[in-house]
Amino acid sequence: MKIKKVVASKGFAGFYYDDQAAIKSHAKHDGFAYSGEPITPGFSTIRIAGESISVMLVLDEG
């Protein structure tokens, strides 16, 4: 059995990441999301969607 091709696909995960520093500091809970500005570097909003990657192997045997 040999690998014929590798296919990668990005997507969203079933969870999210929260900027805990912003939540503890000033963020207002607004239903599912939070309003306010993020504090932690790398966050564009206080709550961001998790990301995923799927790696699929196409084998020479099908």
Residue 37 CA to residue 46 CA, distance in Å, equals: 7
Express each pLDDT in 9-39 by its tens digit: 999 999 999 999 999 999 999 899 999 999 9
Residues with Cβ within 8 Å of residue 10, at least 6 apart in sequence: 51, 52, 53, 54
**Which residues constitute the domain of residue 7?**
3-59
What's at 1, amino acid-wise? M
Q: What is the mean pLDDT of the chain?
A: 95
Domain count, the chain: 1
The pLDDT of residue 7 = 98
What type of residue sits at position 26? Answer: H
pTM above 0.75, yes or no: no
